[in-house]
Amino acid sequence: MNSKLQKQHENMDAYDMVEHLKQLYQGKARHERFEVSKTLFECKMQERTPIETHVLKMIEYVENLERLEFPLEQELTTDLILQSLLEGYSQFIMNYNMNEIDKPLLEILSMLRTTEPNLKKTKLGTVLMVQNGSPKIRVRPKPRARPTLLH
């Protein structure tokens, strides 16, 4: 505590001191809570971001809200994380919801880590072709981005 605050509080008992400090800093906490919750609710996983990095960042936002005395329900935080994932995780999300799995966030992260390598394998896209009556599986390469011309 800086000396100016100490002087203001030297003749107060502990309860009055805490109440006064709450009044001083409550506006700042409200603004911080707003910014953290806004960031959390808008959070979307970016391509090529490891699942661990993304989910741990979201868990950090959830923990920051708890620290700011604004805890979120477990189901809501799970929904926020699942909704923020890339389209490639849709099968995982469907399985999670269909099986009514209810796990803590770190266990969900562990499950997603297990899923991530499988997504990378199928990223190229698998094509089933039937040729001369026998099926053949081919992996088609991911289309390359076409260069754009600058005017």
Q: Return the residue matching tokens 């190229």.
A: 124
Asked if the structure places residue 24 within a domain, the reply is: yes
Distance (Å, whole) CA 34 – CA 72: 13
Q: Tell me the pLDDT band of 58, cut-offs 50, 70 and 90.
A: very high
Q: Is the pTM of this model over 0.75?
A: no
Residue 133 pLDDT: 47
Distance (Å, whole) CA 14 – CA 125: 64
**pLDDT higher than threshold 60 for residue 23:** yes
Asked if the structure places residue 115 within a domain, the reply is: yes
Q: Which domain holds residue 13?
A: 8-123
Please choose, from the candidates 124, 102, 111, the residue with its C-alpha nearest in 3D space to the C-alpha of residue 51.
111
Residue 9 pLDDT: 67
Domain count, the chain: 1
Distance (Å, whole) CA 140 – CA 127: 7
Question: 141 vs 57, which has greater pLDDT?
Answer: 57
Residue 10 pLDDT: 72
